Copies of this chain bind each other. A is one copy, B any other.
Amino acid sequence: MVGWAIAVHGGAGVDPNLPTERQEQAKQLLTRCLNLGISALRSSASAIDVVELVVRELETDPIFNSGRGSALTEKGTVEMEASIMDGVGRRCGAVSGLSTVKNPVSLARLVMDKSPHSYLAFSGAEDFAKQMGVEREENDYFVTEDNVGMLKVAKEANSIVFDYRIPTTGYESCGAGVESPIRMNGLPISVYAPETVGCVVVDSQGRCAAATSTGGLMNKRIGRIGDSPLIGAGTYACDVCGVSCTGEGEAIIRGTLAREVAAVMEYKGLALQEAVDFVIKERLDEGQAGLIAVSKTGEVAYGFNCVGMFRGCATEDGFMEVGIWE
């Protein structure tokens, strides 16, 4: 028996000028989600059930960029994606390109448990959703006024929505984020608002799980897939730990960020926080991202190399913390 631990996030890369009211709302949501998870853990729920439960709550709330409140594609629609992974057996499920599914993480769970595949996308994923009878909504449900406004700004700023690649010719204007004003993925931070959500849990049996959900990049091309549904990139769980990442999609993908935390624990013998720090420092190059993680021994950790990450953590011994900045 170990002490359980839980962490949630609502995205890495936060506008330092975010209105105080908005910061408070975000912290309240993170707190509420932590408490939901803690309640379930106290009732001996399994890690995989808790991560799903908590991410559902994050998706349902319009504040962050997942489910309702998802970032909008260039066409003003939503294409949501999510993945979930059970450290037990490293089972996983993922979905992309959802437009009517109220809780993408739950569909990802169904892909894992009830479909013969690991990853379903676009119309095939929507068909599966109908077949499974999950809750579905019209596009309007997911689209918030805030995001309609953000999309307009993104388009007017005439920014290239950028998955942050090592600059090649033609993209000289999209550099790393240390310049001012702060930019991530080629957008000013006030517009970028990644706000992918995620949850990692280790339960009292030492089982780890992780889940990540997002609407993706504001003003993204139709069909663009980011890191959140990709096992090993945005989400990973094994017998050693559970990890969920957020930030610049391409940096997370080519850094196989979530898997990396586990790999350095397994192969270099690093403890959780050391592993998180190592990965954030060594695997991101110019990329900006953050992650949350738990280990099978009941530890919880997080790290980020950008300005702010909405996060919260709690452990069974009563520790609880919600934060945005360093």
> B-contacting residues of A (Cβ < 8 Å)?
85, 89-92, 94, 96-97, 112-113, 115-128, 160-163, 165-166, 168, 186, 217, 220-226, 230-233, 236, 249-250, 253-256, 259-260, 263-264, 267-268
Cα A53 to Cα B290 with chains together (Å) = 36
Contact of A221 among B116, B230, B253, B254 (CB under 8 A): B116
**Minimum CB–CB distance for A120 against chain B, Å:** 5
Q: Which residues of B contact A94 (CB under 8 A)?
A: 225
Q: Contact between B119 and A122 (Cβ–Cβ < 8 Å)?
A: no
Q: Determine which of B166, B186, B267 lies in contact with A263 in the assembled complex, contact meaning CB atoms within 8 Å.
A: B267
Q: Is the CB of B121 within 8 A of A249?
A: no
Q: Do A118 and B268 touch (CB < 8 A)?
A: no
Chain B residues contacting A115 (CB-CB under 8 Å) are 221
Contact among B165, B186, B223 with A121 in the assembled complex (CB-CB below 8 Å): B223
**Given A96-B225, A117-B224, A231-B256, 8 more pairs with CB closer than 8 A:** A89-B166, A92-B254, A97-B122, A112-B165, A118-B250, A119-B224, A123-B223, A267-B267
Please give the distance in Å from A157's CB to the nearest CB on chain B: 14
Q: Which residue of B lies closest to A120 (CB)?
A: B223
14 CB < 8 A contacts A-B: A91-B168, A91-B254, A92-B254, A116-B186, A117-B250, A119-B224, A119-B225, A123-B222, A124-B221, A230-B231, A230-B232, A232-B259, A256-B256, A264-B267
Across the interface, which residues of B come within 8 angstroms of A263, CB to CB?
259-260, 263, 267
Instruction: Find A116's partner among B126, B161, B255 (CB 8 Å cutoff).
Output: B161
Is the CB–CB distance between B254 and A231 below 8 Å? yes
Q: Tell me whether A255 and B163 are in contact in the complex, defined as CB-CB below 8 angstroms, given that A97-B122, A221-B117, A222-B127 are known contacts.
A: no
Which secondary structure dominates where chain A touches chain B?
mixed
A177 CA to B144 CA, complexed, in Å? 49
CB of A97, distance to nearest CB on chain B (Å) = 6
CA distance A233 to B231 in the complex (A): 8
Q: A169 — nearest CB in chain B belongs to which residue?
A: B113
Of B117, B123, B163, the residue contacting A220 (CB under 8 A) is B117
Q: Which residues of B contact A127 (CB under 8 A)?
A: 221-223
Across the interface, do A121 and B122 meet the contact criterion of CB distance under 8 Å?
yes
Assess whether A163 is in contact with B118, with CB atoms less than 8 Å apart.
Answer: yes
User: With the chains together, A112 CA to B125 CA distance in Å?
Assistant: 25
Residues of B within 8 A of A232 (CB): 230, 232-233, 253, 256, 259
Q: Considering the complex, give the chain B residue whose CB is closest to the CB of A283.
A: B90
Assess whether B223 is in contact with A253, with CB atoms less than 8 Å apart: no
The chain B residue sitting closest to A249, CB to CB, is: B118
Is there an interface contact between A122 and B165, defined as CB atoms closer than 8 Å?
A: no
Measured between alpha carbons, how far is A224 from B95 in the docked complex, in Å? 9
A163 cross-chain contacts in B, Cβ below 8 A = 116-118
A233, chain B: closest CB distance, angstroms: 6
Chain B residues whose CB sits within 8 angstroms of the CB of A224 once the complex forms? 117, 119-120, 124
| List of B residues within 8 angstroms of A118 by Cβ | 163, 165, 225-226, 249-250, 253-254
Docked CA distance A249–B87 (Å)? 18
